[in-house]
Amino acid sequence: MTTQIDRRLEELGLTLPQAAAPVASYVPVVEAGGLLHVSGQLPFQGGAVVTGRLGEDTSLEEGQEAARACALMVVAQVKAALGGDLSRVARIVKLGVFVNSTPDFTDQPKVANGASDLMVALFGEAGRHARAAVGVAALPLGAAVEVDAIVALA
């Protein structure tokens, strides 16, 4: 099934990755009360996790690209959970963006824009969301960024 979101991905020259399997004891998506709760997704590029620490060995632009890769994986998880039907997405409610960063790095919101901007590009007004952008000392597998989401269903 090709949806408006699938067409928008194509227009942007983007391909959704294969939804990643969990790396620990959890499920990637839980549906409850008309909402999808998407577990934290890591940034994959070329089949590998994008690693690094903002403020140390990773630039702001690299962090934004990592956040965008996380957001693509969030969409891939949503699509898998919905049997391929992204037209059921009514709204991206909230993103949680975790940035592997040094204590003096304070541009977490700018890094998070990589994920936020993609959601708006794909879902339009329904992609505008609440958000938290948080600096953390470390992330799983040394990832530069991790993004989780809450998505409302139609």
Q: Rounded to two decimals, what is the model's pTM? A: 0.96
pLDDT score, position 1 = 66
Q: What percent of the chain has pLDDT over 90?
A: 93
Q: Are strands 89-100 and 130-136 parallel, antiparallel or unpaired?
A: parallel
Report pLDDT digits (tens) over 38-73: 999 999 999 899 999 999 999 999 999 999 999 999
Q: Are 100 and 3 in contact (CB under 8 A)?
A: no
pLDDT score, position 132 = 98
**CA–CA distance, 29 with 39 (Å, rounded to integer):** 6
Which of 26, 131, 16, 37 lies closest to 81, judged by CA?
37
Does 29 have pLDDT greater than 80? yes
Residue partners of 67: CB distance under 8 A and separation at least 6: 43, 97, 99, 111, 112, 113, 114, 115, 145, 147
**CA–CA distance, 96 with 101 (Å, rounded to integer):** 15
pLDDT score, position 141 = 95
